[in-house]
Structure 1
Amino acid sequence: MFRREKQNERDKTGIRKCEKKKGILNTFLNFDKMITPAIIKIIFWIGLVICVVFSLSLILAGLTAYGGGVQVFIGILTLIFSPIIVRVQCELLIIVFKIHESLVELKNK
């Protein structure tokens, strides 16, 4: 029993100590630790910048001689709602990985 408790000990990063013996490369190649949640945060910020730039371009195009009030209105709606949509999509992706982490924790207990 003592041996099993030792195998399940974790360090501050949450990786089991026996996994450190395997090596970081082996852990990466076996998909033992997910790196996608960190990437999703970067994707959120990139998506947010794209939404703001697109919305501002719609608003500015609507203010030109060939634009119209409808285009300005759509640009404002896009500026308000598109960041919310990007955030919800990223949160849904993160939820999938949180579920995975919880299942791995249950499996290791």
Structure 2
Amino acid sequence: MRRSTKRMFAATTLICEAMLVFFATLVAFALEPIGQRHTSYLVVGGVLMLLCVLCAGMLRSRAGYALGWVLQAVMIAGGFVVPMMFGIGVAFAVIWFFALRIGARVDHEKAEVARRLADNP
């Protein structure tokens, strides 16, 4: 069984994003005045963390990659709550893009090498 480099890169990116969401959730919660803290930030942050982890497990299908793109957009939109997330979200979207692109290239090159080695015993 051959492991996909693309899937490995994408899953690593999503797990790192889950950790990022954890810390961004704490920041959003702490930015509210003490008397007005909204537990909705904690709920939304928890759901986003769970979605990142679940998406990392769904990367065997195209739906997992599509959900990954949706999560990238949600991370960027998180900038409306924590302004620094605009920059961090864009940075992770770029990382996601290159994880998919370079991972697919490496998988293709590995398959080509395997094919050539099989042709020349």
Tell me if both proteins adopt one fold, taking TM over 0.5 as the criterion. no
Q: More relative contact order in 1 or in 2 (CA 8 Å, sep 6+)?
A: 2
Alignment TM-score, normalising by the size of structure 1 = 0.44
Name the structure where helix makes up a greater proportion of residues.
Answer: 2
Structure index of larger Rg: 1
